[in-house]
Structure 1
Amino acid sequence: MPESPRGALTLLRQRWGAALFERVAGADGPEKRTRIHDLPGPRWFAEDRFIRTVHADAAMFVGGLRALLLQSLHPLAMAAVAAHSGYRGDPWGRLQRTSTFLAVTTFGTASDAQAAVNAVRRVHRQVRGVARDGRTYRAGDPHLLGWVHVAEVDSFLRCHQRYGAAPLDDDGCDAYVADMARIGAALGVVDPPRDRAELTARLEDYRPELHGTPEAREAARFLLLNPPVPLVARVPYAALASAAVADLPAWARWPLRLPYLPVTEATAVRLGGHGIVSALRWVMTAPASGSQPTPSKS
């Protein structure tokens, strides 16, 4: 018998979800997901912690892209990324490693979370060099780690509050920053911020060190104009990228040569952002078929 339209749509949704999950988590994503969620043992974060709410939502796609753009404004952090990360040669591999790290530390067992942190710290010890301006850098430098951390926390939280299915209240936002401080401290960040007031103050402290470099602008062009996505995904990706740029502070735009169009961003771009995040959330929460690509059990 021919499949019903609803059944066909469900099947298509599952296939899209599986394809998206493979891109984000890698070919062994299902095995990693099973270990992360089903392995018994204590976790760093209980099921009711706000970090789980934020990191399980599709708004992380916008937040992750915003974080990369914001992080690129520190010349030493960007020099390390340009020389050592392989983001141009293996962008999907880098995304998969990052998404796995976030999933393991947020949802996995405490022992697996610590092992993931230890692995990152080993890599950081090998990443060092000289930036374009002659200054030396070390990926394990607590000050640089602090910048990467606050840029991530600010981006993930702001984009969740804008596009997340369940925005947090004031106490929830502070609790999320505190949850993320647990991971930041484990990675080597000294005294990471533990509420939004401290997060805002720390971002301001870094601002005198931030400016655009050729490497940062090249990374922005790669991420926004030449993304490694199939042609059919270019329009949805453009909506995602526009939402990420629109959520950057105005002071971060010019160094990266990004436009600032407040009226358009408050209307068309925001609507487009809500549309693409809602579509991603719909795909990510496909009915059970053995391949639904949710980062959490929700």
Structure 2
Amino acid sequence: MLPIPRFVRQRVESLAAHLLQPSDGPRVDFSLPAGEPALVAPDSVSWQVFKNPATLFIGGVAAVILELAEPRVRTGVWEHTSFRQQPMARLQRTGLAAMMTVYGARKQTEAMIAHVVRLHGAVQGITPGGTPYRATDTDLLDWVQATASFGFLNAYHVYARSLTPEDRDRFYAEGAAAARLYGAQGAPVSEADQQAQFAAMQPRLEASDIVHEFLTIIAHVPVLPARLRGLQSVMVRAAIDLVPAPVRHTLQLGSRAGLRPGERWLVTRIAKAADRFPLRSSPAVQACRRLGLPDDYLYRRRPQQR
């Protein structure tokens, strides 16, 4: 564990709690009910990856870039969510849902996912190019699951701690239970599956001003305090760097260059520090308590390194 001065810890704890607890919904206590398992086991790669708030932000941004590259997903997100009007609230809800999927008590998580699936049932429309879509279309659900897994895994792998090919495959396989609950029957269960799915989807991806609008919004939404907003922009560029080169080219992201000289070192230092910094109020630590594990359980054990 990384020793942190008390006042710094309190500030970070407060910030993290704010980011994961939407103001327009009930607070979730991941420490309850005592003893109830999650969809994923504590000794999983997923529990290691999702404990890192820095790489979760970076990976989440990378995932949304990839999602918005698909015109049906892009239209559904931009026309049927409140992201443009209330980006912070949307980020909080999305972050909480991700934490529930990994750390939440199983029954609560299943109820949350069922609620999301019901909401998705009402989302449908036609893209500007004339293609009809429904949020329950299985290929779209598979794409969203694949991009989320890719983003979170690779942000952790690149910036925080390198993982073996076996652990990366385990990570994709661990997401299968939640993916099925969401209706994503064809979500990747290995890195080879993910790469094949990305290759198959590549011809359907297209550039859009919405992607650039999203990047502008996410760089300025008050995730970090005002004096650290410049760092937030650096982390957004770190996310752009994770997007596969063919997709970056398709999306015309050249004007939004990735990390500049020296910034990769900074992002890596932040991500590695976050990986050694247990937040007592975090879903990861609370879930450990729920299962009778010590607060620093995830900081004692590591996935096998290369």
TM-score with structure 2 length normalisation?
Answer: 0.83
- 2:18 corresponds in structure 1 to 22
Match of 2:288 in 1: none
Partner of 2:46: 51
* 1:37 CA displacement: 5.3
For residues 29 and 99 of structure 1, what CA distance do their matches in structure 2 show? 13
Distance 1:88 1:233, change over 3 A: farther
Q: Residue 268 of structure 2 aligns to which amino acid in structure 1?
A: H
Give, in whole Å, the separation in 1 of the partners of 2:6 and 2:254.
Answer: 39
Three-state SS of the structure 2 residue aligned to 1:259 is: helix
In structure 1, distance between residues paired with 2:273 and 2:193: 34
In structure 2, what is the Cα distance between the partners aligned to 1:228 and 1:256?
A: 25
Counterpart mapping for 1:268-283 below 5 A: 268-278=262-272, 280=274
1:171 correspondence with 2:166 = yes
Pairs within 5 Å for 1:89-108: 89-108=85-104
List per-residue Cα deviations over 1:236-267 (Å, max 9, x = no partner).
102211111111122222343323899x8485
Distance 1:29 1:48, change over 3 A: farther
- Distance in 1 (alpha carbons) for counterparts of 2:142 and 2:187: 7
When normalised by structure 1's length, the TM-score is 0.85
Distance 1:37-1:247 versus aligned 2 partners, 3 A rule:
farther
Match of 2:9? Answer: 13
Match of 1:209 in 2: 204
Q: Is the 8 A contact 1:240 1:276 kept in 2?
A: no
Alignment of 1:170-209 (within 5 A): 170-209=165-204
1:153 to 1:185, Cα distance in 2 relative to 1, 3 A: same
Tell me which moved more, 143-152 or 12-21: 12-21
Residues 1:294 and 2:282 aligned together: yes
Gaps of 5+ in 1: 1-5, 287-291
Q: Distance in 1 between matches of 2:210 and 2:84?
A: 12
Measured after TM superposition, the shift of residue 38 of structure 1 is: 4.9
1:142 CA drift (Å): 0.6
Give aligned-pair identity as a percent. 25
CA distance in 2 between partners of 1:254 and 1:221 (Å): 18
Output the aligned Cα RMSD: 2.6
Counterpart residue number, 1:117: 113
Amino acid of the structure 1 residue aligned with 2:176? A
Residues 21, 27 of structure 2: 8 Å contact kept? no
- Tell me if structure 1 keeps the 8 A contact 2:157–2:163: yes
Which deviates further from its counterpart, 57-66 or 20-29?
Answer: 20-29
Counterparts of 2:25 and 2:9, CA distance in 1 = 18
Q: Is the 8 A contact 1:50 1:176 kept in 2?
A: yes
**Structure with greater helix share of residues:** 1
The alignment covers a number of residue pairs equal to 282
From 244, 262, 267, give the equivalent of 2:239.
244
Contact 1:105 1:183 in 2 (8 A): yes
Residue 285 of structure 1 corresponds to 278
- CA-to-partner distance for each residue in 1:23-69, whole Å, 9 max, x for gaps? 3323599951x345553323322211111111112311111111111
After superposition, give the CA deviation of every residue in 1:132-154 in whole Å (9 maximum; x if it has no partner): 11211111111111111111111
* CA–CA separation in structure 1 for the residues paired with 2:7 and 2:211: 41
**Contact between 2:143 and 2:187, CA under 8 Å: does it hold in 1?**
no
Q: Distance in 2 between matches of 1:255 and 1:218?
A: 16
Q: Deviations over 1:187-233 (max 9, x none)?
A: 11123221111111111111111011232332233224x43455322
CA pair 35-234 structure 1, distance change in 2 beyond 3 A: closer
Distance in 1 (alpha carbons) for counterparts of 2:15 and 2:37:
31
Partners of 1:208 and 1:96 in 2: CA distance:
32
User: Aligned partner of 1:40: which letter?
Assistant: G
**In the TM superposition, what are the counterparts of 1:17-96 in structure 2 within 5 Å?**
17-26=13-22, 31-32=27-28, 34-36=29-31, 38-58=33-53, 59-96=55-92
For the residue of structure 2 that corresponds to 1:39, the secondary structure is: coil
Cα distance in 2 for residues equivalent to 1:212 and 1:79 = 13
Distance 1:47 1:30, change over 3 A: farther
Answering whether residue 115 of structure 2 is matched by residue 127 of structure 1, we say no
